[in-house]
Amino acid sequence: MFVHTVFFWLAHPESQSDRDALKAGLESLKSVKDISVAYIGKPADTRRPVVDHTYDFSITLVFADRAAHDAYQVHPVHLEFVAECAHLWNRVQIYDAVS
């Protein structure tokens, strides 16, 4: 299993239209068949020193293996998402994990 988690910090977090646009873009990624599980979220209301709640959105994608992840990276839907939505964020942080 290959887990790919991406955190996004919006360039204009006060803009509801930017929030809506990023959410719609993230939703579009769910159509990629290489993804086994997809979860889109926002920070939970947990406040402990070890919890980073500074991001605006996250997406966690689970793939069967590294090959499925690699296919997703060059998939036209993923490339279109980046091209259409990259202007919405000013920071992205990615964590990949394998089991």
pLDDT tens, residue by residue, 45-54: 999 999 999 9
- Give me the pLDDT at residue 21, please: 98
Residue 49 counted as domain residue: no
Q: Provide the domain limits for residue 72.
A: 2-11+19-44+54-98
pLDDT tens, residue by residue, 66-79: 999 999 999 999 99
CATH of the domain at 73: 3.30.70.100
Length of the chain equals: 99
Q: Which tokens go with 56?
A: 């605006």
CA pair distance 75, 28, nearest whole angstrom = 12
CA pair distance 99, 97, nearest whole angstrom = 7
Average pLDDT over residues 27-53: 96
Which 3 state secondary structure label does DSSP give 85? helix
How many independent structural domains does the chain possess?
1
- Give me the pLDDT at residue 27, please: 98
Residue 70 counted as domain residue: yes
pTM to 2 decimal places = 0.94
